[in-house]
Amino acid sequence: MHKTISFKKARTYLVRAVTAAAMFVSLAAVAPAQEAEHKWTANFGVGFTPLVGALDQRLDNGWNITFGGGYRFTEHFSLGGQVMYNGLGVSRGVLNELAVPDGKARVWAITAEPRLDFALRSKVRPYIVGGVGYYRRVVEFTRPTVTASVVFDPFFFDFIPVLLPADLVIGRVIRDGIGGNAGIGFQVPVGRGAKIFTEVRYHYSNGGGIPTRMIPLTVGVRF
């Protein structure tokens, strides 16, 4: 089922995301004592990506995966690079309008990101983060097909040709350009220099007639 949210509900999604972040980090009240911070850091996270603005009427909400690294210049300030992938759907209204069976979309972002950490002696440590870089939005329209392949049958110890279902791309729209993001997060030390974090950001990129606007909520681990 294809679902969307209106621009008027963007504030509701943001409030819910911040509330979920606060609830998540509150579960880690048994965090260990302060440890020496690593100068070089790495992180990995996954989460939910709601869309806002005009794009919300064209694409469906999806999911995200993100990873990156950075360097801590001081206790409070670090600078890093981040790669983010968002997997999205295409709304049923757009598919009907173009008379195509199905579609999928994705948004890549590669950004440079400063971060400010606060309350370093606290169990729950808030931070603010932003970023600027390259955004690429790809929308593909597909129809079902089959493709020939070969599978191994361990019972007869033989290779058997088969036909497997697949999606044939019949159209592609690409929009890219410079964009940025800003948001807040919380992180909790869990030992051996690792921290569990959760964050919410607002992303914007004006590539094409309809800009990319989304508010991903991400949960992950930072080393």
Choice among 29-33, 78-82, 167-171, 196-200 with the minimum mean pLDDT? 29-33
105: in domain: yes
Q: Which residues contact 199 (CB under 8 A, 6 or more apart)?
A: 21, 45, 127, 129, 183, 184, 185, 186, 217, 218
Is the pLDDT at 27 greater than 70? The verdict is no
| Position 6 confidence tier, pLDDT thresholds 50, 70, 90 | very low
43: in domain: yes
174: in domain: no
| Position 115 confidence tier, pLDDT thresholds 50, 70, 90 | very high
| Position 16 confidence tier, pLDDT thresholds 50, 70, 90 | low
- What is the mean pLDDT of the segment spanning 69-91? 96
Distance in angstroms (rounded) separating the CA atoms of residues 113 and 181:
9
15: in domain: yes
Phi/psi at 12 (nearest 5 deg)? -65, -45
Residue 67 is part of which domain span?
10-132+180-222
- What is the mean pLDDT of the segment spanning 184-191? 94
**pLDDT for position 213:** 97
Mean pLDDT of the chain: 86
120: in domain: yes
Q: How many domains does the chain have?
A: 1
Give the burial string for 100-134 (b: 16+ CB within 10 Å, else e): beebbbebebebebebebeeeeebbbbbebbbebe
Percent of the residues in the chain that have a pLDDT greater than 70, as a whole number: 83
| Numbers of helices and strands, H then E, in the chain | 2, 9
- What is the mean pLDDT of the segment spanning 193-203? 96
**pLDDT for position 23:** 54
In terms of pLDDT, which residue wins out, 214 or 37?
214
For 43-59, what is each residue's pLDDT tens digit?
999 999 999 999 999 99
150: in domain: no
CATH number, domain containing residue 18:
2.40.160.20
First-residue to last-residue Cα distance in the chain: 38
Cα–Cα distance list, 112 to 78, 82, 178, 182, 199 (Å)? 11, 6, 12, 12, 17
Q: What is the pTM of this model?
A: 0.80
117: in domain: yes
| Position 149 confidence tier, pLDDT thresholds 50, 70, 90 | confident
- What is the mean pLDDT of the segment spanning 64-87? 97
At 221 the three-state DSSP class reads strand
143: in domain: no
In terms of pLDDT, which residue wins out, 193 or 56?
56
For 156-174, what is each residue's pLDDT tens digit?
777 888 877 888 899 999 9
Residue 212, strand partner residues: 205
Given a contact cutoff of 8 angstroms between Cβ atoms, the answer to whether 111 and 80 are in contact is: no
**pLDDT for position 31:** 44
Distance in angstroms (rounded) separating the CA atoms of residues 214 and 204:
7
Neighbours of 53 (CB within 10 A): 16
**pLDDT for position 83:** 98
Helix or strand run (H / E) with residue 16: helix 10-26
Residue type, 52: V
DSSP 76: S
Given a contact cutoff of 8 angstroms between Cβ atoms, the answer to whether 197 and 43 are in contact is: yes
